[in-house]
Amino acid sequence: MSGNIILPERSLPMFKTWKEWRLKRKVLPLKEKIANINFCLEGITQEFAILKEAERMAKEHAIIGEVMDDFALLMSARFDLNLFIPMAKESLARRRLLLRDERERLEKELALLTA
């Protein structure tokens, strides 16, 4: 018995050219990652819109969540959206910045592969 391993033809990748291999193994996954990042950025934009609406409501009502008899302990801290909204905005801004940096890096890598 020789040390050679014979693989069935169907298990071998069928790439006719180097460009085809590069497209399927490198370019398409990068494009998919960039599309996913763009989708996440759209979600962050929507979250900012929601926070903007919550901020508007908080300004109108000053403090949301007045202490009620049934929820006295739960609401004793008098949850204030004016404290939450800036923290949420900061977190979203950080995430957006990280995603944009990652997208830029992937786009540069994609440009090098497709050049």
Q: Average pLDDT, whole number, for the chain? A: 74
Kindly tell me if the per-residue pLDDT of 7 is higher than 50: no
The pTM assigned to this predicted structure is 0.60
Alpha carbons 2 and 92: distance in angstroms, whole number: 60
**Residue 79: pLDDT band by 50, 70, 90 thresholds?**
low
Q: N- to C-terminal Cα distance for the chain?
A: 46
Residue 77 has pLDDT above 50, yes or no: no
Local confidence band at 68 (pLDDT 50, 70, 90 cut-offs) = very low
- Write out pLDDT tens, residues 11-50: 446 667 777 777 788 888 889 999 999 999 999 999 888 8
Of 47, 33, 57, the C-alpha closest to 91 is: 47
Instruction: Quote helix, strand, coil % in the chain, to nearest 5.
Output: 70, 0, 30
